[in-house]
Chain A
């Protein structure tokens, strides 16, 4: 009997039974392909790679369990109902039974995705972990125009805007933002919520390009899920800071498209007001919040009231309590949050018209700054004397107040990334600001440190009042960041003997390397006779005296051990070497360019 023969009545087993191609899955579920897609997206089901592809290489395989999981999904039944209902409506319309059609349309069956979210993310932390794509997508759609043709409805765009603002308001309020980066693609933000690093991208606030070759249906399906997810996440987050969700905004500010500001005010009012009044009223904050929700007008006045209370804490009898509350809050925060909270403390910012307002309104309060902008609804106007920084992005600034600094918006982002207040000279109006560096790059792993990163590092060290090697000293071994690091460490802990020893060793090593280099150059320039080569013995004593072909020897040593490796290991090793080589080539390219630029600058 051949091996592949399966007698009748015996079940399939192995890969044949375990995996199913997409076509078969669609048939099996008795749905259309588009519905299958939608289900897969909503349920988070993805194809899997079987060990053996039974039907061939060019098929997509799903795990049978996944498909069964889809089969038992109540949504599947719901979608079928909806389809049948749509048919009813269509029939009524085509029979000119407008009455029936309208009646039917008012009671269209709907579905909710909350169960799916609970199923996919049983814990809140799971949801946070998967939030990156969700946030990026929601922020992207918040910036897109509504198009009837592609079924991108205005309602959804507005919803996306609202959700993104709610998220930002929370992050800003709770000072959870960690890193920002202005890239060509948009602005990246990284926040840390419950220990999870969440990174998202917001497009630049401009007219977005809508390409033709994109299937918006798929994106909208994703968006549908993401909207629900972010709404639940927002709910949970707002709940955690004792704020009622969904927030009710000041309609005046909302009309002025200053949603974010309105939201942050709402948050401030709601989360700070209860403790102030908690002495007088022993009722819980949530109750108060509920009271607030009863009417918009009442709510608004309450809002104002709370605002006032917040602004005048020192006159209040509950000021002490307030302070305590603050202290408690700080105890709860980790060190980083505290650092973030106080970065822009005692600073007042004013945004000109041309700077990206939404982004800065998000970032500056997240780091403890007070911000206003040019336009209606702003908390204070340009002539306010207490403004310390005005953010402008124009070639020249006409009228200047002497009491404040005029800086470009990049300064804010760079400060945030460096966690120190950078000197503003470089970022003055009309100047080309220094390069904007990504905070997501690990310089050690990358192997190349841009010049400005070094500067920032020195400034950071200065801010921490630590001693770093003088810039003059560094020039010698700028090419070797490792060395610099080592030296930095050593200088700081010079008293310790062990460090002393280490330093000596490093110096020795450096000396040795220098010698090697010199010798290498010697080899390159003067043609070394064979006799000289003969002397290149491996003896330890001989090494220091003359090493004519050091590189060769090093290479040989590497090769020698490669000779005895097994083939598999050797291949792996070689692949690793190729990866390393590529990385080094990239670093070399950068260094070469840098050198060329420096030379060009010098010659000018």
Chain B
């Protein structure tokens, strides 16, 4: 029957710690006071009240069906109560103290001893229980007899038992004593309070007001016996100093007591504008900040639908650069009430502030002009007629790109050389192909002899230059030509002298002409105006790159000049014995008679592709591979008089008209430009250059466009040779 009682003990032994401690402390206090002057002992209340309460407590225990306690006397510290008793008692227990002091004393004494002296059934002490694991007993009782282990129920049985038993939830297995303990209601209450983190006893007040038990009023003896010092009776010197200091400060006005007078903050600042006209500032012009941009339709809370980008467009903004991305994406709200606060309002305001005080300001002159007014005033094109405008005839027949064309001096025939290795002669007016020569290699250049009575065609193809008899002209002329085009083969090596290795003159039986075999491939052939000399250019020929040949004597000679850079083309002056040799960078002008450099023209372009000489001889146009056309006035300067940026691609050739004030350029972008280039005899007047027409029509082949352009010698017509194997004639 001891079981429940023991259970309560085991719980109690842990719970009332704090209680005990307070008891302990109070006891110490009492002891201290005993040492002091106070002879009377005032008792800690709790122990006493505990005694009182105990009976109730005991009742509760009895109620719960547990047996009686065997040692009531030492139970006094288990001070659990319902609280009512204690609160009632609280008021008067101080008075009771005196009478009950002795009993209480005993109680305290006893409680102290009983604290450790819990009497469990088992007496093995605080040893690990596993020592008894394999034994039959769990320990020894107070008489020294072995306490046998109970028989263990198997889990199933215990579970079933617990399921049946409605009180199983308040049963605890006590391992130490090997028994099941059932908690009482009262104990459950304690545990609940503990779980809540409160003191286990409901009546315990952790914040009880401190009661000073000791009345000091009638204490006879002071703590210190020293006499009162003098300073306590005389006024403070320091204070008087301070007062004097303050008084002086107040007199001097250092300390002011009256509040500063409130002046009106706002007044009429611009009372009279005329008075404030004086120059303000510091001599620097004030540049007002530009006003923020006014909002457009797209910033509306409900803009028109077309201002709202589709989702794909918004997504595509992500692919843009950060700075290109639109900062504001229009959005549409169906009604004014659904418009939210703008989240960037403060940011934008702040940015504006930063702009205002951090951005350097400078007055920028805003050019507010019509872009058309930038265009120069040009004379009307109608006044500059005639010039070639439309394509009238196409000459078809070549299989490959037409590399070069040349007009006959009379203007009746044109010759063309193509990369398919044929040279053709066409009748200009009908477009009929008159003759075809087959040369083994791609033709680079063709050139008619400028003399009308000497219709010889010079053709450069690969390393060879052919001089072909076209068969035009009357019989007398034919005779002469045949004579001219006859070469005695054996004489050649001796004749050529120092340029033996460069060129060999030989009879070409197949085409009935002369064949000049060069040591490198020839890019162009140009005739002298008198028709006897002609020059050939071999770009890779180094010191012998440009050669001048004499037809009548079948002679070849080097130019006596040193070329700096790769030669591109050459030309003879139309009237004087001056020779133009262009390298990629510049054009050198030589006097052939004096054999010296006259001038060096610097077009300042990347790579020269072609040059043409004005029939007057004082103006030169140079086409470059970057599409720029430079007009040089030789009398003026060695710098170009005007640079025309007309073609987006390489200029392949440029040409002057022999009699009309026209010149043209053709380019790989499949266009040819026709310009009006009037040169005045008055030296003070600059040449007038007016672009007239863009001629289109050719198509691109292998990335090349128009390969060559030549004017008709008498009419204002332009022939263009295209890489698309077509020759076109543009007429006015």
Residues of A in contact with B (beta carbons under 8 Å apart): 37, 40-41, 44-49, 60-61, 63, 65-66, 68-69, 103, 106-107, 112, 114, 117-125, 127, 129-130, 132-133, 136-137, 140, 144, 181-186, 188, 199, 203-204, 206-211, 213-215, 218-219, 222, 231-232, 234-236, 239, 245-246, 354-356, 393-394, 408-410, 432-433, 435-438, 440-441, 446, 450-452, 530, 533-538, 552, 556, 559-565, 567, 569-570, 572-573, 576-577, 580, 590-591, 593-594, 597
Residue contact B345 to A140, C-beta cutoff 8 Å: yes
Cα-based distance from A246 to B268 in the complex (angstroms): 12
Residue contact A432 to B304, C-beta cutoff 8 Å: no
The answer, yes or no, to whether B371 is at the interface (CB within 8 Å) is: yes
Q: Which residue of B lies closest to A140 (CB)?
A: B349
Residue contact B341 to A206, C-beta cutoff 8 Å: yes
A-B contact pairs, 16 of them (CB 8 A): A37-B357, A65-B283, A69-B284, A124-B273, A132-B291, A209-B343, A211-B343, A211-B346, A218-B353, A218-B357, A222-B356, A231-B266, A232-B267, A393-B336, A432-B334, A563-B691
Q: Please list the 10 inter-chain residue pairs (A to B) with the smallest Cβ-Cβ separation, ordered nearest first.
A: A440-B294, A206-B341, A124-B270, A593-B306, A435-B304, A594-B306, A576-B371, A47-B360, A561-B375, A183-B299
CB within 8 Å of A: which B185-216 residues: none
Contacts of B306 on A, CB cut-off 8 Å? 450, 590-591, 593-594, 597
Q: Which residue of B lies closest to A391 (CB)?
A: B336
CB within 8 Å of A: which B334-349 residues: 334-337, 339-349
Closest CB in chain B relative to A24 CB, distance in Å: 16
Contacts of B280 on A, CB cut-off 8 Å? 118-120, 122
Cα-based distance from A410 to B332 in the complex (angstroms): 14
Residue contact B276 to A537, C-beta cutoff 8 Å: no
Contacts of B299 on A, CB cut-off 8 Å? 181, 183-185, 438
The answer, yes or no, to whether B302 is at the interface (CB within 8 Å) is: yes
Contacts of B255 on A, CB cut-off 8 Å? 103
Cα-based distance from A88 to B276 in the complex (angstroms): 40
Residue contact B292 to A564, C-beta cutoff 8 Å: no
Contacts of B394 on A, CB cut-off 8 Å? 530
- A183-B335 contact in complex given A37-B357, A219-B353, C-beta closer than 8 Å: no
Contacts of B359 on A, CB cut-off 8 Å? 46-47
Contacts of B282 on A, CB cut-off 8 Å? 65-66, 68-69
CB within 8 Å of A: which B258-293 residues: 259-260, 265-270, 273, 276-278, 280-284, 286-289, 291-292
The answer, yes or no, to whether B530 is at the interface (CB within 8 Å) is: no
The answer, yes or no, to whether B229 is at the interface (CB within 8 Å) is: no
Residue contact B259 to A106, C-beta cutoff 8 Å: yes
Residue contact A565 to B337, C-beta cutoff 8 Å: no
- A537-B389 contact in complex given A65-B283, A106-B259, A355-B336, C-beta closer than 8 Å: yes
Closest CB in chain A relative to B395 CB, distance in Å: 13
Q: Which residue of B lies closest to A137 (CB)?
A: B349
Contacts of A144 on B, CB cut-off 8 Å? 346
Cα-based distance from A408 to B644 in the complex (angstroms): 63
Residue contact A436 to B303, C-beta cutoff 8 Å: yes
Closest CB in chain A relative to B69 CB, distance in Å: 64
Residues of B in contact with A (beta carbons under 8 Å apart): 255-256, 259-260, 265-270, 273, 276-278, 280-284, 286-289, 291-292, 294-297, 299-308, 310, 330-331, 333-337, 339-350, 352-354, 356-362, 367, 371, 374-376, 378, 381, 389-392, 394, 642-646, 673, 689-694, 696-697
Closest CB in chain A relative to B297 CB, distance in Å: 5
Contacts of B360 on A, CB cut-off 8 Å? 46-49, 60-61
Closest CB in chain A relative to B578 CB, distance in Å: 29
Contacts of A234 on B, CB cut-off 8 Å? 266
- A215-B284 contact in complex given A206-B340, A556-B694, A563-B646, C-beta closer than 8 Å: no
Residue contact A186 to B342, C-beta cutoff 8 Å: yes
Residue contact A438 to B259, C-beta cutoff 8 Å: no
Q: Which among A182, A185, A235, A570 is the interface contact of B268 at CB below 8 angstroms? A: A235
Residue contact B266 to A245, C-beta cutoff 8 Å: yes
- A119-B270 contact in complex given A185-B342, A218-B350, C-beta closer than 8 Å: no
Residue contact B297 to A132, C-beta cutoff 8 Å: no
Q: Which residue of B lies closest to A239 (CB)?
A: B268
Q: A132-B292, A185-B344, A209-B343 are in contact. List 4 more A-B contacts (CB 8 A).
A: A130-B289, A182-B300, A188-B295, A206-B341
Closest CB in chain A relative to B517 CB, distance in Å: 41
Residue contact A565 to B343, C-beta cutoff 8 Å: no
Contacts of B297 on A, CB cut-off 8 Å? 435, 437-438, 441, 450
Contacts of A409 on B, CB cut-off 8 Å? 336
Residue contact B307 to A47, C-beta cutoff 8 Å: no
Contacts of A565 on B, CB cut-off 8 Å? 374-376
Closest CB in chain A relative to B541 CB, distance in Å: 36
Contacts of B696 on A, CB cut-off 8 Å? 533, 552
- A185-B345 contact in complex given A48-B360, A441-B297, A593-B306, C-beta closer than 8 Å: yes
Q: Which residue of A lies closest to B347 (CB)?
A: A211
Residue contact B300 to A133, C-beta cutoff 8 Å: no
Contacts of A107 on B, CB cut-off 8 Å? 256, 260
Contacts of A561 on B, CB cut-off 8 Å? 375-376, 378, 691
Cα-based distance from A369 to B549 in the complex (angstroms): 101
Contacts of B356 on A, CB cut-off 8 Å? 41, 46, 133, 222
Contacts of B278 on A, CB cut-off 8 Å? 122
Residue contact A563 to B644, C-beta cutoff 8 Å: yes
Q: Which residue of B lies closest to A50 (CB)?
A: B360
Contacts of A66 on B, CB cut-off 8 Å? 282, 284
Residue contact B374 to A440, C-beta cutoff 8 Å: no
Cα-based distance from A441 to B390 in the complex (angstroms): 47
Residue contact A534 to B353, C-beta cutoff 8 Å: no
Closest CB in chain A relative to B472 CB, distance in Å: 29
Closest CB in chain A relative to B579 CB, distance in Å: 30
Contacts of B265 on A, CB cut-off 8 Å? 112, 231
Q: Which among B281, B289, B330 is the interface contact of A119 at CB below 8 angstroms? A: B281
Q: Which of A48, A234, A534 has the most CB of B within 10 A?
A: A534
Residue contact A569 to B374, C-beta cutoff 8 Å: yes
Residue contact B353 to A183, C-beta cutoff 8 Å: no
Cα-based distance from A114 to B347 in the complex (angstroms): 28
Residue contact B378 to A65, C-beta cutoff 8 Å: no
Residue contact A433 to B376, C-beta cutoff 8 Å: no
Residue contact A49 to B362, C-beta cutoff 8 Å: yes
Residue contact A232 to B295, C-beta cutoff 8 Å: no
Contacts of B690 on A, CB cut-off 8 Å? 564
Contacts of B286 on A, CB cut-off 8 Å? 44, 120
Residue contact B350 to A215, C-beta cutoff 8 Å: yes
Contacts of A231 on B, CB cut-off 8 Å? 265-266
Closest CB in chain A relative to B727 CB, distance in Å: 14
Contacts of A49 on B, CB cut-off 8 Å? 360-362
Q: Which among B301, B362, B697 is the interface contact of A48 at CB below 8 angstroms? A: B362
Residue contact B266 to A235, C-beta cutoff 8 Å: yes
Q: Which residue of A lies closest to B391 (CB)?
A: A534
Q: Which among A393, A440, A535, A560 is the interface contact of B390 at CB below 8 angstroms? A: A535
Residue contact B376 to A140, C-beta cutoff 8 Å: no
Closest CB in chain A relative to B76 CB, distance in Å: 55
Q: Which among B268, B339, B362 is the interface contact of A236 at CB below 8 angstroms? A: B268
Cα-based distance from A433 to B339 in the complex (angstroms): 14
Q: Which residue of A lies closest to B731 (CB)?
A: A534
Cα-based distance from A435 to B307 in the complex (angstroms): 10
Contacts of B302 on A, CB cut-off 8 Å? 410, 432-433, 435-436
Cα-based distance from A208 to B341 in the complex (angstroms): 6
Contacts of B350 on A, CB cut-off 8 Å? 214-215, 218-219
Residue contact A564 to B378, C-beta cutoff 8 Å: yes
Residue contact B266 to A246, C-beta cutoff 8 Å: yes
Q: Which residue of A lies closest to B361 (CB)?
A: A46
Contacts of B391 on A, CB cut-off 8 Å? 530, 533-534
Residue contact A41 to B357, C-beta cutoff 8 Å: yes
- A408-B335 contact in complex given A48-B362, A215-B350, A437-B300, C-beta closer than 8 Å: yes
Closest CB in chain B relative to A115 CB, distance in Å: 10
Contacts of A112 on B, CB cut-off 8 Å? 265
Residue contact B295 to A181, C-beta cutoff 8 Å: yes
Residue contact A209 to B375, C-beta cutoff 8 Å: no
